[in-house]
Amino acid sequence: MRVVITRPAGDAQAWVDALQAAGHQALRLPLIEVGPATHLQPVVQAWTQWSEFQAAMFVSAQAVRYFFDSQAEAFAAGANGPRCWATGPGTHKALLQAGVPEACIDSPGADALQFDSEALWQRVRSQVQAGKPVLIVRGQDVDTQPDAAINGTGRDWLAQQLHAAGASAQFVVAYERRAPVWSAEQKAHASAAAVDGSVWCFSSSQAIDNLAHILSAQRWAQARCVATHPRIAQTAKNLGFGEVQMAKPSLPDLLASLESLA
Section 67-81 average pLDDT: 67
User: pLDDT grade, residue 72 (50/70/90)?
Assistant: low
The pTM score is: 0.81
Residues of each domain in the chain carrying CATH 3.40.50.10090: 2-32+182-261, 35-178
* pLDDT on residue 153: 42
Range list of β-strands (E), 180-228: 199-202, 224-227
3-state secondary structure at position 153: coil
* pLDDT on residue 149: 40
**Burial zone of 85 (CB within 10 Å; 0-12 exposed, 13-18 middle, 19+ buried):** buried
Element (H, E) at 121: helix 117-124
pLDDT at 262 over 90: no
* pLDDT on residue 261: 82
Of all residues in the chain, the percent with pLDDT exceeding 90 is 71
pLDDT at 77 over 60: no
Over residues 11-42, the pLDDT tens digits come to 888 889 999 999 999 999 999 999 999 988 99
User: pLDDT grade, residue 127 (50/70/90)?
Assistant: very high
Q: Which of 43-47, 76-80, 106-110, 131-135 comes out lowest in average pLDDT?
A: 76-80
3-state secondary structure at position 137: strand
Q: Is 155 left (phi over 0), alpha (psi -120 to 50) or beta?
A: left
CATH architecture for the domain at 35-178? 3-Layer(aba) Sandwich (3.40)
Per the CB < 8 A criterion, the answer to whether 76 and 66 are in contact is no
Residue 65 backbone dihedrals phi, psi, to 5 degrees: -60, -50
Most confident option among 7-16, 97-106, 152-161, 187-196: 187-196
CATH architecture for the domain at 2-32+182-261? 3-Layer(aba) Sandwich (3.40)
Of all residues in the chain, the percent with pLDDT exceeding 70 is 92
pLDDT at 163 over 90: yes
**Burial zone of 98 (CB within 10 Å; 0-12 exposed, 13-18 middle, 19+ buried):** middle
| Dihedral (Cα; 42, 141, 182, 22), 10-degree rounding | 80
Per the CB < 8 A criterion, the answer to whether 136 and 158 are in contact is yes
**DSSP track, 68-105:** HHHTHHHHHHT-S--EEEESSHHHHHHHHHTT--GGGE
